[in-house]
Amino acid sequence: MDNRSVLIAGGAGFLGSHLCKHYLDRGARVICVDNLSSGRMRNIEHLLDITTFRFVLHDITDPLDLGERIDFIINMAAPASPPRYQADPIATFDTIVIGSENLLKLARKAGARILQASTSEVYGDPEIIPQTEEYCGKVQTMGPRACYDESKRAAETLFYDFHHSLGVDIRVARIFNTYGPNMDPEDGRVVSNFIVQALSGRGLTVYGDGHQTRSFCYVDDMITGLTALMHSKVDIFDPVNLGNPGEFSILELAKIVLEETQSNSTIEFRDLPKDDPEFRRPDISKAQRLLDWSPEVPLREGLRQTIIYFAAELGRNAQPTE
Ligand code: NAD
Ligand code: UDP
């Protein structure tokens, strides 16, 4: 990757900051573009002194032309947690659809390959388990999750059409629930909520009866999968599921977090949010076949690493300020 130039939109966020580090470690020049709406400087501040790293404060709903060579673009820019993407649904839709189009135009002009962080949410509240890439999904145009699900679907369509009509070199990853260090403690997703609640002695908030399932992938595995897709030897212009097929109910997750944190917190049941998907598990046979990729980190091991990270974050936030 020496001297190759990688633009990472959303590079100050959870996954984006790991990608910045991954590429810097391999000798690439990294341009991190972010408006810091859900990302944090804290995730990238240790990279700012590296001469091959550059941070650009920019909202991707505005066109972007940095006037320099770009070989690869990775579009991670979008609020990913339900409370955050639902806080301003129109801004979410615009970021995902208009932002993607702006980056696709930049990729076309620069002759760069571009990877889209799509999502398992394109399957909505799925009727089949596990979800294969061929499954079209059961998705609502209305409702609290629509601004995210439908815009990610529309963004995928833009990617395929920029490829077919204009020859842009695309990759599309459908990412399933991923967790790990650099998540924002205030983010609102289930893994960060449960660990922060357990570490601070508060009740773990299980929505509904907790029988709904998710499949949780540790961040290191996801970064390996995303970069394997971006640099695959064969061209892959169709979507590829990336995630860990290990499926857990939310109640199981709560109990595992309590065990791993050795916390005395209780479990508190809250109302299930509207349109909350009941099941989610990726069929990753396509990624296994084309990328020779499978996740390797079991849930408990990944949670242990994540607990160490959140414990340090909470300790840091508890420090008295001068
Ligand atoms: P995150 O919220 O931590 O990161 C998103 C980043 O994008 C943040 O740094 C934010 O400030 C930035 N951003 C948002 N809107 C922007 C805009 N208009 N202009 C510029 N920057 C903007 O979330 P994450 O978990 O790192 O997710 C990254 C990507 O992966 C998202 O596109 C998300 O939809 C996708 N994804 C994540 C998961 C997951 O479980 N983490 C699952 C499926 C898909
Ligand atoms: N959830 C929960 N308690 C929380 C946060 C989330 O029970 O404090 C549930 C949520 O209702 C969903 C699952 O955990 O069923 C995963 O939620 P998350 O927001 O992490 O991601 P989603 O997959 O729903 O986008």
What's the pLDDT score for residue 319? 65
In this structure, is residue 40 part of a structural domain?
A: yes
**Ligand nearest to the backbone CA of 248:** 2
The pLDDT value recorded for residue 29 is 98
115 within 8 A of 159, measured Cβ to Cβ: no
Atom of ligand 2 at shortest distance to CA of 193?
A: 8
Is 50 exceeded by the pLDDT of residue 321?
no
What is the pLDDT confidence band of residue 1, given thresholds at 50, 70 and 90? Answer: confident
CATH code for position 87: 3.40.50.720
The finding on whether 204 has its CB within 6 A of some atom of ligand 2 is no
Q: What is the mean pLDDT of the chain?
A: 97
Residue 253 lies in a domain: no
Which residues line the pocket of ligand 1, CB cutoff 6 A?
A: 9-10, 12-16, 34-39, 59-61, 76-80, 95, 99, 117, 119, 175, 177-178
Residue pLDDT, tens place only, 228-242: 999 998 999 999 999
Q: Does a structural domain hold residue 33?
A: yes
**54 domain-assigned:** yes
Measured from the CA of 15, which atom of ligand 1 is nearest?
26
At residue 37, the 3 state secondary structure works out as coil
User: What is the pTM assigned to this prediction?
Assistant: 0.98
Q: Look at the chain and report how many structural domains it folds into.
A: 1
* Per-residue pLDDT at 187: 95
Q: Is residue 285 part of a domain?
A: no
Instruction: Let me know if residue 278 belongs to a domain.
Output: no
pLDDT tens, 4-53? 999 999 999 999 999 999 999 999 999 999 999 999 999 999 999 999 99
Q: How far is the CA of 77 from the centre of ligand 1 (A)?
A: 4
For the chain, what percent of residues have pLDDT higher than 70?
Answer: 99
Ligand 2 atom 18 nearest Cα:
189
Give 171-184 pLDDT, tens digit per residue: 999 999 999 999 99
Closest CA to 225 of 136, 82, 117, 130: 117
pLDDT tens digits, 183-210 = 999 999 999 999 999 999 999 999 999 9
What pLDDT, on the 0 to 100 scale, is given for residue 171?
98
- Residue 37 tokens read as 């709406």
Range of the domain at 137: 5-178+218-242
Query: pLDDT tens digit string along 77-132?
Result: 999 999 999 999 999 999 999 999 999 999 999 999 999 999 999 999 999 999 99
Q: Exposure string (b/e) for 186-214, b if CB count within 10 Å is 16 or more?
A: ebbbbbbbbbbbbbeeeebebeeebebbb
Q: Is residue 254 part of a domain?
A: no
Q: Is the pLDDT of residue 141 over 50?
A: yes
- Please indicate, yes or no, if residue 229 is contained in any of the structural domains: yes
Q: Tell me the residue ranges of DSSP E strands in 203-283.
A: 204-207, 213-215, 217-218, 239-242, 247-249, 267-270
